[in-house]
Amino acid sequence: MKIYLALTVASLKMYFRNKQALFWALFFPLLIMLIFGIMNFDKYASPDVGIYDAAENDASRALIHALEGNDQQKLLNVSVDTFDEVHHELEFGSSRAVIEIPVNYGTLGEFAEIKVTYDERFQQERAVISTILGKVTDAVFKELAQVPDEYRVENSIGISESVITGQGQGFKAWLIPGIAAMAIMQTGLFTVVFTLVRFKSQGVLRRMKATPIGAAHFLAGQLTTKAIVVVLQTYVLVIVGAIVLGVSVGAGRLGAWFDLTILALLGGALFIAIGLAVSGWAKNEETAAPVANIISMPMMFLSGVFFPLSAMPDWLTRWSQYLPLTYLADGMRAITVEGASITTLGSELLGLGVWIVISFAIATKMFRWE
């Protein structure tokens, strides 16, 4: 225990004296977060609207198409999804309204009531969406005006409106947990790859092997340090991000910090295991660094760190949703943005768990002391 403590303290000292590692673990992610946060992409897009289409017929599809506008004039930024998903997006995400198309929509002779729910915090967007919806329904059904009077649109369609108070804090709040997850990946992967490969190639590990404690204890101290760093780094990134970008964390729930700590440790374990596998395989830093980059770079862009997965083509998200970083970023986002508790994150925890098992299996197979 005393030995383990001494090794951990020593390796913490080494870590915090390594300016380069600190830069990549803290200042670089902070910088990215602030740059993207200040750009605030929310402002420039047309309002996001989620549509739940229960009818799924030609008429409802025509309506959705019309709401999207055309190339000359884009009206609404529409995403069609399940009932739960569109309401979830309205409450926690960047969506400003939900439009529910009833199942009897487009059926002649029946009265179809379209329900619209707005986030009351965004009155300006509400006015825009309401106007567009009114004009579009009018226009779509005037084209079908050849039908007899009793079936005329004016008679058979109604729009009912309601409001909720959403909790979504827009892109800024969305960005912070993603960047924190990315930073965990970078720390786990790169500090292991660089320090361990260097310790190995310089002979530090051999020298440890000559002592009675052996190199396994030494590794344990190293890993403890990385765990501490990963958690501290997550706190710093989330706190500084929340203060500077002016968003709240975990809907004010104090347990969110505990949940974040658990997720950070799981993510740290996962990427450290991947780092161990890479450094076990690589003989020196020159080969380890590119391999680590090949693993981390695609994940940075495909795991929804900078932009939502929904902004990517389906064929890409179909498999990028299974990336380790996607699980970590999604889980951390659910906690910080939606105020979710870690106990509700079944699929993210399962995904992380499976990846941890796979990575540790590969790491133990690949790792060589010399």
Partner 1 sequence: MNTAIDPVIVAKDLRKKYGDITAVNGISFEVHRGEVFGMLGPNGAGKTTTVEILEGMRNADSGDAIINGINVKDHPTAVKAMIGVQLQQNAFFDNLKLSEIVDLYAKLYLAKVDPVEILSRVGLDNRKKTKYAELSGGQKQRLSVAVALVNDPVVLFLDEPTTGLDPQARRQLWELVRTIQKSGATIVMTTHYMEEAEELCDRIAVIENGEIIAIDTPDALIDQLLATGFKPEKRVREATLDDVFLNLTGHDLRD
Chain residues that interact with partner 1, rule: CB under 8 A: 2-3, 6-7, 10, 13-14, 17-18, 199, 202-204, 206-207, 209-214
CA end-to-end span of the chain, whole Å?
26
Instruction: Rank residues 6 and 316 by Cβ distance to partner 1 and give the closer one.
Output: 6
| Contact indicator for 96, 90 with CB cutoff of 8 Å | yes
* DSSP code, position 32: H
3-state secondary structure of 81: coil
Encoded tokens for 166: 């959403």
Instruction: Rank residues 199 and 271 by Cβ distance to partner 1 and give the closer one.
Output: 199
- Rounded CA-CA distance 176/280 in Å is 32
Instruction: Rank residues 204 and 265 by Cβ distance to partner 1 and give the closer one.
Output: 204
Which residue from 100, 124, 97 is spatially nearest to 113, judged by alpha carbons? 100
Instruction: Rank residues 18 and 79 by Cβ distance to partner 1 and give the closer one.
Output: 18
Provide, rounded to whole angstroms, the least separation between the CB of residue 278 and partner 1.
21
- Rounded CA-CA distance 329/95 in Å is 19
Instruction: Rank residues 14 and 145 by Cβ distance to partner 1 and give the closer one.
Output: 14
3-state secondary structure of 167: coil
Neighbours of 122 (CB within 10 A): 18
| Residues 355, 299, 279, 229, CA torsion sign | negative
Instruction: Rank residues 6 and 311 by Cβ distance to partner 1 and give the closer one.
Output: 6
